[in-house]
Chain A
Amino acid sequence: MSAVLTPIFMERGATPGQRAWRRLLRRRGAMFGLVIVIFFVVLAVFAPYIAPYDPVATSWSAVRAAPSADYWFGTDEIGRDVLSRVVWGARASLLAGLVSVCISMALGVPVGLLAAYVGGWTDGLISRFTDSMLAVPFLILAIALAAFLGPSLTNAMIAIGVSATPIFIRLTRAQVLAVKVEDFVEAARAVGNPHWRIALRHILPNVLPPLIVQSTLAIAAAVIAEASLSFLGLGQQPPAPSWGSMLNTAKNFVDQAPWMAIWPGLSIFLLVLSFNLLGDGLRDALDPKHK
């Protein structure tokens, strides 16, 4: 019991953000996730300096070459360096994860806030619409959207972002409904704040923690979704490197060049795992009431 009580006592005086950060630091899984995420961010940002070769340069003298001192991860079916493509592929995956979740939040949070704050007919209509979007399985909706928009990384990000929006609408709505009946909101209204100010300055900051947790987990889902769309040919277009499209090609050479399949898949797995671990850790750190 004292082990639980002492840190809380010691934490008094720090801001809620600092307390959450300290709680996060104590979680090994979350720290592991954070380190891996930072590792991939570094890979993506410094790809031109880290990748040993040009990711799209072909070499007919080294087609499907096994891993060696020259090519650590081997080469692909037209002699491109797999390591360089994995490094550059981190850009597409991280970009897709971040941009699509930004799209979901930019659409979902204001709509959810509006539904819960205004209530009545507006809420009814938005909620029905949200239910309907959730009735279409996430990846199927993303595939359909990407199909109609046309295959490209940008369109894949839009498709994933839009498909994940209803989750954010629903979460924001539920959180705002809980917060808007609190005394401090009543007090803000009583002293004559306009509606927009109550919604943005008093309610929104108080619903942020669960949204941060959800957005971290949504990045994990978006990274898998982008890899899936690219695997189906609906994401990043060749010859630009992306882990999903690398796996699509690797599938055809699995008996001759298994290394083509190992590394991009392992990268997707590690990145998704890290965001999942980080999200779980953030949930414990930001929302101690949640079991």
Chain B
Amino acid sequence: MSRYLLNRLAAIIPTIFFVSVIIFALQQLLPGDAATILAGEDQSPEVIAYLRQKMHLDEPFPVRYAYWIAGVAHGDLGESLRIQEPVLGLIVQKLPVTLELAAIAMLIALGIGIPAGIISAVGKDTAWDYAANVIALWGLSTPNFWLGILMILLFSVQLGWLPASGYVSPFEDLQGNLAAMIMPAFVLGNAIAAVLMRHTRSAMLQVLSADYVRTARAKGLDERTVILKHGLRNALTPIITLGALEFGTLLSGAVLTEQVFSIPGFGKLIVDAVFNRDYAVVQGVVLFTSTVYIVLNLLADMAYFLVNPRLRG
């Protein structure tokens, strides 16, 4: 058991190394002289020379990478050139907003996706199954920024029930916070609900045809107990681990959702950085996101391993 976990743990080191190389190499893509581009509008020779020296731009790529990664290892993701603040500080400042958005979105996705998957599996080939599949296909094919605009049109412009944009801290005004978050969270959760529904459906179909479910039925348990206790409990493991992999979708989606609803989170940070040509922030955010994603995948694998006795040896 510990051997598997150690191997799995060791495997993330080269992955993180390659990710950091890829992200650092992005800088090579800048057309022309990096220092001139990074200096932006302020084109004075002193600024350009300062940047060249500070970022070791005269050194070869491996040396520059070594300087950068040594900083990263000490928690220094660089400094924003526009707002003169450490990148890590900016990330820590924006992260809670996105985490709240993501958490509500995940709750909505679980609340829709799992029941819909169960209904669809239990009623395989019925109208329920068909309807659930159509809804899943809609969820997978709708661009979430369009869904966001449509919801603003309906709930803010037509009905006037919810604010179209903006963000209020839950510590200041919990009701206002929820009112501002519910639409973006639904938009973000929508696509993940579709994915979860498909996973739940296939996991449930597999479990429901297993021998122990037939046994449970044969000994006269009512259908509800069979489906929820004997079926869902066993289907839940693959659903949860596959669900953890949706974290990437969640973050990619947050970038667009936060843009539509003007929410000052992590996604807005990267979009603003892109437009301010604040490349250190872009690199820092991508590196941070990927590392979190890698660690979450590792945790999901470990959870799968721990709850599945057959894998323990």
Instruction: List residues of chain A with CB under 8 Å of any chain B CB.
Output: 128-129, 131-133, 135-141, 143-145, 147-150, 220, 224, 227-228, 231-234, 247, 250-251, 254-255, 258, 261-262, 264-265, 268-269, 272-273, 276-277, 291
Q: Which residues of A contact B249 (CB under 8 A)?
A: 137
Q: Which residues of B contact A144 (CB under 8 A)?
A: 23, 26, 282-283, 286
A219 to B23, CA, bound (A): 25
Query: What 6 A-B pairs come out closest when comparing CB atoms?
Result: A132-B18, A265-B146, A139-B252, A137-B248, A273-B141, A147-B274
Query: Chain B contact residues: over half helix, strand or loop, or mixed?
Result: helix
B122 to chain A, nearest CB (A): 18
Q: Is B137 an interface position by the 8 A CB rule?
A: yes
Instruction: List residues of chain B with CB under 8 Å of any chain A CB.
Output: 14-19, 22-23, 26-27, 29-31, 137-138, 140-143, 145-146, 149-150, 152-153, 157, 164, 202, 247-249, 251-253, 255-256, 259-260, 270-271, 273-275, 279, 282-283, 285-286, 289-290, 293-294, 297
A44 to chain B, nearest CB (A): 18
**CB–CB B143/A227 < 8 A:** yes
Option from B22, B27, B270 in Cβ contact (under 8 Å) with A143: B270
**CB–CB B152/A150 < 8 A:** no
Q: Knowing A144-B282, A269-B141, A276-B137 touch, does A132 contact B22 (C-beta < 8 A)? A: yes
Q: Which residues of A contact B251 (CB under 8 A)?
A: 137, 140
**CB–CB B31/A150 < 8 A:** yes
Q: Which residues of B contact A140 (CB under 8 A)?
A: 248, 251-252, 255, 270, 285-286, 289
Q: Which residues of A contact B286 (CB under 8 A)?
A: 136, 140-141, 144
Name the residue of chain B whose CB is nearest to the CB of A137. Answer: B248
B159 to chain A, nearest CB (A): 12
**CB–CB A251/B260 < 8 A:** yes
**CB–CB B15/A131 < 8 A:** yes
Q: Which residues of A contact B146 (CB under 8 A)?
A: 247, 261, 264-265, 268-269
**CB–CB A136/B256 < 8 A:** no
Q: Knowing A140-B251, A145-B29 touch, does A273 contact B290 (C-beta < 8 A)? A: no
Q: Which residues of A contact B142 (CB under 8 A)?
A: 269, 272
A-B contact pairs, 15 of them (CB 8 A): A135-B16, A135-B290, A136-B289, A136-B293, A137-B251, A143-B274, A144-B283, A145-B26, A147-B282, A228-B256, A251-B260, A262-B150, A265-B150, A273-B137, A276-B140
B14 to chain A, nearest CB (A): 5
Q: Which residues of B contact A264 (CB under 8 A)?
A: 146
A250 to B285, CA, bound (A): 28
Name the residue of chain A whose CB is nearest to the CB of B275. Answer: A233
A247 to B14, CA, bound (A): 40
A273 to B135, CA, bound (A): 12
Query: Chain A contact residues: over half helix, strand or loop, or mixed?
Result: helix
**CB–CB B22/A128 < 8 A:** no
Q: Knowing A136-B19, A250-B149 touch, does A128 contact B255 (C-beta < 8 A)? A: no
A139 to B140, CA, bound (A): 15
A247 to B271, CA, bound (A): 17
Q: Which residues of A contact B256 (CB under 8 A)?
A: 139, 228, 231-232
Option from A128, A234, A247, A258 in Cβ contact (under 8 Å) with B153: A258
Q: Which residues of B contact A135 (CB under 8 A)?
A: 15-16, 19, 290, 293-294, 297
A115 to B21, CA, bound (A): 20
A158 to B149, CA, bound (A): 28
Option from A136, A234, A247, A277 in Cβ contact (under 8 Å) with B145: A247
**CB–CB B137/A137 < 8 A:** no
Q: Which residues of A contact B141 (CB under 8 A)?
A: 220, 269, 272-273, 276
A137 to B294, CA, bound (A): 10
Q: Which residues of B contact A147 (CB under 8 A)?
A: 273-274, 279, 282
> Chain A CB within 10 Å — which of B18, B143, B157, B249 has the most?
B143
A61 to B129, CA, bound (A): 51
A19 to B16, CA, bound (A): 45
A21 to B274, CA, bound (A): 45
**CB–CB B23/A272 < 8 A:** no
Q: Which residues of A contact B26 (CB under 8 A)?
A: 144-145, 148
A126 to chain B, nearest CB (A): 11
Q: Knowing A140-B251, A144-B23 touch, does A258 contact B157 (C-beta < 8 A)? A: yes
**CB–CB A129/B293 < 8 A:** no
**CB–CB A247/B293 < 8 A:** no
Q: Which residues of B contact A143 (CB under 8 A)?
A: 255, 270-271, 274
B142 to chain A, nearest CB (A): 5
Q: Which residues of B contact A150 (CB under 8 A)?
A: 31
